[in-house]
């Protein structure tokens, strides 16, 4: 594959201005022209993007997704058209890890109800037995890749006991027990926090549904930084309404933006963030490094890193 021109798609503006990435790439890449603000990609070999457009199939040889999740891309069609897809897995650990412990602290230290009361100018301290500290609480992290490890490192530093779930079941430093997906219900059963950090694939669609909510503690907090459809959202709302779940911190939803009518906006025990758990001002630099690395791989005739298709 030869890459002498790269387009930065407008869709990256959800995370950073396209021009910022264009300038950073243009500064580090001397083997390819880099442009942003383009209508047609016909003249380009590669595109760095967040969205998928069908025209990519005929226009480019290489798509780099600025996200780790690539569930929006049609793998079979890309393969048929000989289009290579790489993702940005590996860059989100610190940002998502910090966001997730932020969610945990918001519940344990009652910051979430505090902020909700503040918006109503209400002085309402928690009941004597509502606040707790994180040390000694059990946290189950479902998915122990970049995100899961980012969470595990930071949560264990705060004294939480960490267990986890991954496909391979292979042990991981700092994680007391690693389960396979077959033992998901055992893994989540005694955990105060259940953190979802898996890719959205057929096997993880509605991974957490009515049965899993029944298996979880009634005071458990569900944290979803993976993808919305990993959770059966209707079952989540039912579990919250029935009081069989303590609360939820959600960065991702079955429909995004979260529709105005969703009951999740109103729920006392729900913290909603707009799919930004991985945001950081360094995001474009991290993507630049990945694209640069792969251009070097291409020049050397080596396999691309983070290749998905
Ligand atoms: P990785 O590929 O590094 O890790 C994925 C992990 O999930 C691995 O540990 C893998 O197991 C595990 N896994 C895969 N399938 C299953 C399954 N069926 N049951 C249990 N575990 C499973 O991905 P990342 O950590 O970089 O990202 C994970 C996902 O998080 C992304 O695909 C994306 O959708 C989402 N994401 C969300 C962000 C946000 O802003 N909210 C930011 C970045 C990512 P094994 O280790 O055995 O292979």
As a whole number of angstroms, the distance between CA 221 and CA 145 comes to 21
Under the banding of pLDDT at 50, 70 and 90, the label for residue 231 is very high
Q: Identify which has the larger pLDDT, 30 or 200.
A: 200
Whole-angstrom distance, CA of residue 252 vs CA of residue 231: 9
Ligand 1 centroid to Cα of residue 59, in Å, is 29
Predicted local distance difference test score (pLDDT) of residue 46: 97
Residue 30 — very low, low, confident or very high, per pLDDT cuts 50/70/90? confident
Question: How many angstroms separate the CA atoms of 57 and 137, rounded?
Answer: 48
Question: For 233-306, where are the E strands, in sequence order?
Answer: 247-250, 270-272
Per-residue pLDDT for 51 more than 90? Answer: yes
How far apart (Å, rounded) are the C-alpha atoms in residues 20 and 34? Answer: 11
- Work out the pLDDT band at 131, boundaries 50, 70, 90: very high
CA of 193 to the centre of ligand 1 (A): 17
Q: Which of 14, 50, 99, 143 to mutate to test the pocket of ligand 1 (most atoms within 8 A of CB)?
A: 143
Classify domain 92-272 at the CATH class level: alpha beta
DSSP SS3 for 134:
coil
Listed in sequence order, the residues at least 6 apart from 279 whose beta carbon sits closer than 8 Å to its beta carbon are 15, 95
- Taking 90 as the threshold, does the pLDDT of residue 101 lie above it? yes
The mean per-residue pLDDT over the stretch 82-98 comes to: 98
Q: In this predicted structure, what is the pLDDT of residue 214? A: 98
Residues 6+ apart with CB under 8 A from 13: none
Q: Is the pLDDT of residue 143 over 90?
A: yes
Q: Tokens for 76, please give them.
A: 């079979």
Mark whether 275 is an active-site residue.
yes
pTM > 0.95: yes
CATH architecture type of domain 5-87+280-300: 3-Layer(aba) Sandwich (3.40)
Q: What are phi and psi of 138, to 5 degrees?
A: -100, 135
Q: Which of 67, 187, 198, 253 to mutate to test the pocket of ligand 1 (most atoms within 8 A of CB)?
A: 198
Q: What ipTM was reported for this prediction?
A: 0.99
Please state the domain extents for the chain: 5-87+280-300, 92-272
The pLDDT tens digits of the residues spanning 235-251 come to: 999 999 999 999 999 99
Q: 38 or 246, which is more confident?
A: 246
Q: What is the pLDDT of residue 34?
A: 95
């Amino acid at each position: 594959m030869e890459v002498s021109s790269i387009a930065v798609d407008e869709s990256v503006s959800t995370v950073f201005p396209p021009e910022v990435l264009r300038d950073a790439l243009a500064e580090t890449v001397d083997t390819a022209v880099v442009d942003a603000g383009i209508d047609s990609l016909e003249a380009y070999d590669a595109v760095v993007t967040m969205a998928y457009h069908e025209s990519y199939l005929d226009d480019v040889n290489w798509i780099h997704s600025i996200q780790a999740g690539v569930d929006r891309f049609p793998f079979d069609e890309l393969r048929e058209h000989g289009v290579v897809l790489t993702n940005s897995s590996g860059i989100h650990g610190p940002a998502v890890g910090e966001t997730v412990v932020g969610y945990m602290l918001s519940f344990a230290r009652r910051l979430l109800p505090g902020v909700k009361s503040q918006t109503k100018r209400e002085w309402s301290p928690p009941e004597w037995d509502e606040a707790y500290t994180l040390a000694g609480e059990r946290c189950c992290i479902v998915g122990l890749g970049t995100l899961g490890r980012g969470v595990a490192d930071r949560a264990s530093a705060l004294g939480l006991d960490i267990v986890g779930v991954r496909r391979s079941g292979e042990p991981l430093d700092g994680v007391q027990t690693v389960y396979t997906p077959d033992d998901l219900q055992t893994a989540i059963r005694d955990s105060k926090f259940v953190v979802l950090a898996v890719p959205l694939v057929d096997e993880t669609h509605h991974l957490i549904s009515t049965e899993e909510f029944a298996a979880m503690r009634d005071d458990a907090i569900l944290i979803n930084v993976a993808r919305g459809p990993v959770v059966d959202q209707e079952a989540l709302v039912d579990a919250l309404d029935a009081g069989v779940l303590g609360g939820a911190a959600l960065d991702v939803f079955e429909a995004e933006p979260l529709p105005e009518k969703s009951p999740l906006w109103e729920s006392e025990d729900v913290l909603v963030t707009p799919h930004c758990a991985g945001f950081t001002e360094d995001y474009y630099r991290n993507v630049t490094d990945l694209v640069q690395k792969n251009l070097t791989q291409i020049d050397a005739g080596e396999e691309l890193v983070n290749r998905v298709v």
